Each structure stands twice: as structure tokens, then as C-alpha cells.
Structure 1
Amino acid sequence: MKRIIVAACISLGVCSFLFSADGGKVKISVIDFAVSSKNPDYEFLGKGFAEFVSVELSSSRDVLLVERQKLQQIINEQKLSLTGLIDENHRVEVGKLISADYFIFGSIFDIAGKMSLVYRVIETSTGKVILEEKLTEDISKYDYISAVVAKKVLSGLKAYTPDELTAKAENPVNKSGEVAVKFSKAVNAYDKGDFISAKAQLKEAKKLDPANKAIEVYSAKLNVNNCKFKTLSERHFPVKNPAFLGFAKNDSYYLSFSGMSEDPNVYSADGIMGIQEYDGRTKTGFTLPIGTNFGAGVEYNAQGIYKDVLFHNTGTSSVPVWVRQAEFDAELSEFILSLGFKLNNNLSIGIAGSSYNQNLQLAVNGQPRAFSRSDVNCYCAQLGLVYKDNGENLVLDAFVGYSTERLYSYSAAGDSFSPYRIPVVEENTMTLANKDKTLYFVLKQSNQIYTDVQRYTGKLLPAVEYWPVDFLALRGGVELAYYQQNSTSSFQTGYLTGATVTIPGINLDIDINFSFWKRPSRTLENLYLNETIINWSFNFNHILF
């Protein structure tokens, strides 16, 4: 029990220190500006400039921005339009629902090639206008325009204004107006869920303005961490930490096949008893966001199977003759339910659980034992935590999971099988990405803690994933493992390699991973087996939205 408590504390402690309350910050929501222009390229400028201003405001330590997705959800639920917020009663109502202290909204007018921006700051508790300004400039000064607006808003609210923002607001710089146009189109495409078009527009905008912060923010939203270093998913737990569901932006369907390659070798520690072991899993699942802070998932473990075949040597140690003596099979199928909740823009928690029947069959010398074909009811639960920095260049995730399922070890002396519980699983992962999200470094550490037998497994997996092009990723890593059984221990190494191919037209990711390592036998003590695993997974995104 102490080990379980320690495992839970490790998982929760990895990220919990990163959570802090939002108290003391001014909560602001920037509404898409209305646009009055006959130029079709300017149709979505209101969205683009709202985001330009939002990003500038977010640089102040005194400001907390309300996500545009959360605002849009509330507006849709209240059957309003953005222009409906002009009404004072609607401002107060929506402001309370999204917990915003202030709204910023206004209009953009295209006047003889110049852009005139009229904006207002509204106090949501009263509906009163506390600031109203107008600024007319060429669209090529989009950085200057957004900086001036942000600086005046922060000054009006007596909030901290970073020096960098002040410098931009005092030194207008002419850039290509195409950046504002392309970025605005990208925001519109993102709102519609057309991430392929959004990514293409951002890529063009970034060529013209590589250092623009708003472009970096949206690029980070579209380029999420995609490191997949697990080949054989943990038994009874979702393919992914359930806490990630709190950050879910779209629905997803996946199908995963994992299994060991058949090994004809019989492994033996004493030359008398030998074994062959096989493990395979087929999982399919569906996840989707519920609002802006919740996500849910259901996963079906369609074929969880493992088979251990025991042999007895009737020959000699130098010329063994292996004769099948016993066979142990376990099959199961189960539904796993998952929930994730986003606590703030950086932190999410999640839970998962299932109840299932474990179908056991044992035959010794061809004769079934007492518990042959028995169904054992089992339960499992998982708790997860995920932290992401604002640019999603750093992701920390941790989980701990427990199941009541049992495995069986064999004793040759008594020709008997003894049950033991599968281990408590505790895992911590750190993922670091470069600025362009093309190179990832992953450090994964896991513990398998057995509660009723003297066994322990600890693993460390450093790995790298590289995206040379948008549709292909290559990955590789090494595994360093420590195993303890009763009074003996062993260090083992292994490796992993794999690739991901994306097919944008149908929003499909195809992953394949190979891994090789040594692990302890489930059934015979002090025996290590070579294990080669292959995993295929197919992930379809945006099926519904």
C-alpha cells in the first residue's frame, strides 16, 4: 500500500506545483471586430486584428484572456451574434457567463486604402463604456496598430505594460499587409475547423513575418505534440492519458493493433522448465470535446489476450527435448470510459475506468484445472494530469493506474499456479519541442509496482521524433530497464523505432512502431525473454466537426 501511495504522489507531484490561481488578474475578452469594406480580401480582418490585439494583451502579467472558443460557445448557447453584444443587457449577461471583467469590441472601416479602427472597452459588470478610441493607419502597420490598442487598454485599466509592447506602440514599422490578410484567413479557417487551410495560410504569413507572435500562437495550436513512443498500450488503460481530453479541440476515432511477434524459442532459466509467451491487443475508441473545458472518450479493448505455454525438458541440458506440459490463456474484452477537465489554459486532469470479465483457461498435460474457463470480474481506474506551456513547446504528463486483475506464476516443485495482481502502473513523461514543432525530445519514466509479490519494474525511455516534412515523422529511442524479483535484480536495454504518416485530405494519421527488449517472464521466476513488438494505429480526426 505504501508503494501505491508513493506512486500516486509522484504522478500528482510532477505537475501540481505548476497550478496557480488566476486571482488578481484582469479578465478580458476581445470580440471579433466588425468589418466594413468592399475588398473581399478584408472580409476576415476583424478576426485577425482581434487576435493580434489579444496576443499583445496577453504579454501583460496582469491580464488573463478569455479564449475565443469559450466566448463563441456561450454566444451560440445564448443564440446571440457578436453584434448582439452591442446591447448593454447582453454584455452583462455574457460577461457573467464567461467570467470576463471587460469586453473589447469595435469596427474596422476601409477608407480610401486606409484602415480605420474604432474600438471600445466595456465593463461587463455594468455594461458601461470605459474607453473609446479611434486609430487610422495603413494595414501594413498591423503590428503598430495592435500594439497601440493594447497599450491604451492596459493603461486605461492600470495594468502592467511590457517594455517591448511600449516600443512597438511608439515605433511604427511598415510590413507587408498580406500578413494581416493571410493571418485573418487562417483564424477564420481555424474557427471552422479547416486546419489544413489554416496551416497553409499561416505558413505563407510566417514567410513574410517570421517573428510575429500571433502567428506563432496559432501555429502552436495547429502543431500539437505528436510523440507516440508506446507500442504496447498499458492493459486496461486508454491509449492516451485521459487528462489530454481536457485540451481536445476536435473529435477523433482510432484503431490500434499491438502484438508480439511469434518466437519459436523456448526460454528456460534452469534447463528443466521452459516457456513461450505471447501478448496481443486490439483497441478502438472515440474521443470528443464537450464545450471548451471538458472532453470524453470511450474505448473498446476488443481483443486483449495473453498466452503462456510451459514446457518440460525430457532430454539433457545440452540437447533439450521440450515437451508441452501446461498452457495458460487469458482473454478479455472491455469498455473503458474517460473524462478530462481543463482547469486553466495550461493544466488539465483526467480519470478513466472500466469493469470487465477476465476469461481464464488452464490445462496441465492436456487436462483442465479447477478454474478452467472461469470468468473473473475485474475493475480498473486511472488518474492523470497534464501541463502545457502557452506555446505547447513543453508538455508534462503523468498518470497512475490500478487494476484488480490477476496473473499466475508456476511452481514446478508443487506443480501449481499461484495468483498475483498485475502491477500498479505509474508513468511520467516530459516532451520538449523546438519552436517550429519539427523536432521533439521525449523523456519517459515508468514504474510497475506489484502489491502482493516481491517484484518491481522501473524504465527510462529517452527518445527523439523528427518531422522532416509536414506529412512524415520519424522516431527512435532506447529503453533502460531495471527489474527486481524477490532477492535478484537485473538491468536490461532495448530500443524503439517508428514513423507517422499523415494524409491531410481525409485527416488520417497512420503510426507504426517497432520495439525490442528483454522482460521478465509472467509465469516463471528469474527468467527473461526477448520480446519484439509491432504496433499499428490509425487515427481519424474531425469526423463530426
Structure 2
Amino acid sequence: MPALPSLPLRLLCLLLALLALPSAAADKPTVAVLYFGYGGKNPDLEVLKKGLAQMLISDLSDFGTAHLVERDRLEEIIQELELGQSSKFDPATVARIGQLVGAHYLVMGDYFDMKMGKTNMLIMGARVIEVRTATILRALNARGDADEFLLLEQKLAQDVNKVLEGLATKSPEPSKPPSSEPPRAPGTPQPSRKPRRLTTQTALRYSRALDAKDRKDVETAKKELGVVLEEEPDFMLASMDLARLMK
């Protein structure tokens, strides 16, 4: 019987090493950020939930602590389950959402605006929920000047990520696949997708662009994103959204 051709030794070693690597994907929890409910009196701010969700998903994804469900998938689930505007779900609905998106944890909450003296305030509150038990693990909040929307959103993202990091320490340290990206300190997100500053009004326009995209109104979405980038040229998340619509 003729001998089988042998693989080069270096290639064989590489294949064996790859087969021996545990799956990093199985070690990280999957997290879904649901739309926050609006509790204020200005109906125009209702749509802000879409921009807030997209930015939280982007920031939490950059931390690298968990896998994040994409907002487009979230939009499909909301339409499928006819969830409407509610931000409060019973345990059965929490379990159903988690099952449909394959999430271990949900991030949900509320936001509202109020006048305090001469300052327009924005208050965001988030809850981290374990899908399996429908238990609220932590309640978090961020509040401040509405003109500092980005700072409030980033604080909330950082606090949520700390909760997720704490949950990760309860299990063995997940192994990480080889990466060509330079390592960054734990808990430090990549800064590339964030503008230097973002007001609630610009975030609201960004949210309207996402809403138009969800309604298949591509031209309106492009127009709104164009204005957003005129106001904040370094808002890379909006830039990437626009680039996808231009294809």
C-alpha cells in the first residue's frame, strides 16, 4: 500500500494547535440591549431609544467582555413579539426574548428629561437582567446635562460593563483567540467610534436616521446621517451607518 503524502511539519503543528484551542465564543456571555422606555413629557424624545441602544451596543462590544446582539436583530424581535413601547416585561417575555436572540443577559431601562433651574437634565437608568431567572442583577443610572449626552451614555456603558466583568469572574478566565490587534487594558473600549462630544439633539437626529432605516426610508436615513456628520464629523458610528446605506 503506497504511503500517504505527509504534511509539512510546520503546517501539521499549526493544524494541531488550532484544533486544541478552546472556543472563545462559548466562553463569553451573549448580551442583548433592549430599547429603553421614555418616561418624559416630550414625545419627540421617544425615538432617542434607538440611538441610545445602538451606542450602548457599540460601546459594550468594544469592551470585549461579551458578545452583543445587533440592533437590527433586536428590531426584528420587537416587531415579531409586538412589544410596543414598553420597557417593563414579565419573566415569560424576558425568557422569550433571551431565547430568540440567544442572550444570557438583557440590558434594559428608562430615560427621561427634566428642567432643573436653567439646565436641561437627562436621566438614564439601566437594569442588567439574567435571562434564565429573570432576576435583576444590578440597577444603574447616569444623570447630567442633556448637552453632554455622550458622557452620560459612556458612563452607563462603563457601569454595565463592570457588572458583566463581575459576572465573568465567577467562571474560569475565557481563552482568547489569536488577534492581530494590539492588546488594550481590560475595561478600556476602543475610542474610534465616538465623537468628542454629542448633544442630545444630535443623538436625537441620529436616532431619527436609524428609525427611518428601520422603516425602509433609506433617503431620509441618508439625509439625517449626513446632517449628523456635519455636526459631528468624527462620529464614526454614524459614518459607518451611512456607508452601509450607500452600498
Alignment equivalent of 2:122, drawn from 115, 127, 141: 115
Letter in 1 for 2:153: S
Alignment equivalent of 2:79, drawn from 76, 80, 89: 76
Q: Give 1:214 shift.
A: 2.6
Greater RCO, 1 or 2 (C-alpha within 8 Å, sep 6+): 2
Q: Does 1:197 align with 2:220?
A: yes
5+ residue gaps, structure 2: 1-22, 169-185
Letter in 2 for 1:31: L
- Specify the structure having the higher radius of gyration (Cα): 1
Q: What is the alpha-carbon distance in structure 2 between the residues aligned to residue 85 and residue 123 of structure 1?
A: 14
The 8 Å contact of residues 32 and 50 in structure 1, kept in 2 or not, is answered as yes
Q: Does 1:25 align with 2:28?
A: yes
The 8 Å contact of residues 56 and 157 in structure 2, kept in 1 or not, is answered as yes
Question: Relative to structure 1, is the Cα distance of residues 192 and 46 closer, same or farther in structure 2, using a 3 angstrom cutoff?
Answer: same
3-state SS of the aligned residue for 1:29? strand
Normalised TM-score (structure 1)? 0.34
The 8 Å contact of residues 140 and 177 in structure 1, kept in 2 or not, is answered as yes
The 8 Å contact of residues 47 and 184 in structure 1, kept in 2 or not, is answered as yes
Letter in 2 for 1:117: M
3-state SS of the aligned residue for 1:86? coil
Which residue number in structure 2 is paired with residue 66 of structure 1? 69
Cα distance per residue 1:252-286 (max 9 Å; x no partner): xxxxxxxxxxxxxxxxxxxxxxxxxxxxxxxxxxx
3-state SS of the aligned residue for 1:32? coil
Alignment equivalent of 1:99, drawn from 102, 124, 129: 102
Which residue number in structure 2 is paired with residue 347 of structure 1? none
Which residue number in structure 1 is paired with residue 188 of structure 2? 162
The 8 Å contact of residues 135 and 145 in structure 1, kept in 2 or not, is answered as yes
Which residue number in structure 1 is paired with residue 51 of structure 2? 48
Question: Relative to structure 1, is the Cα distance of residues 163 and 64 closer, same or farther in structure 2, using a 3 angstrom cutoff?
Answer: closer
Q: Give 1:84 shift.
A: 6.6
Alignment equivalent of 2:242, drawn from 202, 206, 219: 219
Please give the residue correspondences for 1:32-431 in structure 2 after superposition, counting only pairs within 5 Å. 32-81=35-84, 83=86, 86-112=89-115, 113-158=120-165, 160-162=186-188, 164=190, 175-224=198-247
3-state SS of the aligned residue for 2:102? coil
Indicate the RMSD between aligned Cα atoms, in angstroms: 2.3
Q: What is the alpha-carbon distance in structure 2 between the residues aligned to residue 35 and residue 215 of structure 1?
A: 22
Question: Relative to structure 1, is the Cα distance of residues 202 and 88 closer, same or farther in structure 2, using a 3 angstrom cutoff?
Answer: same
Question: Relative to structure 1, is the Cα distance of residues 185 and 84 closer, same or farther in structure 2, using a 3 angstrom cutoff?
Answer: closer
Cα distance per residue 1:203-222 (max 9 Å; x no partner): 11111111123313322331
Letter in 1 for 2:188: P
Question: Relative to structure 1, is the Cα distance of residues 85 and 40 closer, same or farther in structure 2, using a 3 angstrom cutoff?
Answer: closer
Q: What is the alpha-carbon distance in structure 2 between the residues aligned to residue 208 and residue 132 of structure 1?
A: 33
Q: What is the alpha-carbon distance in structure 2 between the residues aligned to residue 72 and residue 163 of structure 1?
A: 25
Question: Relative to structure 1, is the Cα distance of residues 174 and 70 closer, same or farther in structure 2, using a 3 angstrom cutoff?
Answer: closer
The 8 Å contact of residues 48 and 184 in structure 1, kept in 2 or not, is answered as yes
Normalised TM-score (structure 2)? 0.72
3-state SS of the aligned residue for 2:35? coil
The 8 Å contact of residues 60 and 66 in structure 2, kept in 1 or not, is answered as yes
Question: Relative to structure 1, is the Cα distance of residues 31 and 217 closer, same or farther in structure 2, using a 3 angstrom cutoff?
Answer: farther
Question: Relative to structure 1, is the Cα distance of residues 80 and 42 closer, same or farther in structure 2, using a 3 angstrom cutoff?
Answer: closer
Q: Give 1:189 shift.
A: 0.9
Give the number of the structure whose residues are more often helix, by fraction: 2
Question: Relative to structure 1, is the Cα distance of residues 98 and 176 closer, same or farther in structure 2, using a 3 angstrom cutoff?
Answer: closer
3-state SS of the aligned residue for 2:155? helix
Q: What is the alpha-carbon distance in structure 2 between the residues aligned to residue 211 and residue 189 of structure 1?
A: 22
Q: How many residues align?
A: 199
Cα distance per residue 1:168-214 (max 9 Å; x no partner): 9xxxx754443112111111111111111111111111111111233
Question: Relative to structure 1, is the Cα distance of residues 174 and 94 closer, same or farther in structure 2, using a 3 angstrom cutoff?
Answer: closer
Identity fraction in percent: 28
Letter in 1 for 2:152: I
3-state SS of the aligned residue for 1:132? strand
Q: Give 1:156 shift.
A: 0.7
The 8 Å contact of residues 114 and 137 in structure 1, kept in 2 or not, is answered as yes
3-state SS of the aligned residue for 1:44? helix
3-state SS of the aligned residue for 1:83? coil
Question: Relative to structure 1, is the Cα distance of residues 181 and 132 closer, same or farther in structure 2, using a 3 angstrom cutoff?
Answer: same
The 8 Å contact of residues 139 and 180 in structure 1, kept in 2 or not, is answered as no
Please give the residue correspondences for 1:472-483 in structure 2 after superposition, counting only pairs within 5 Å. none
3-state SS of the aligned residue for 1:115? strand
3-state SS of the aligned residue for 1:58? helix
The 8 Å contact of residues 140 and 160 in structure 2, kept in 1 or not, is answered as no
The 8 Å contact of residues 48 and 187 in structure 1, kept in 2 or not, is answered as yes
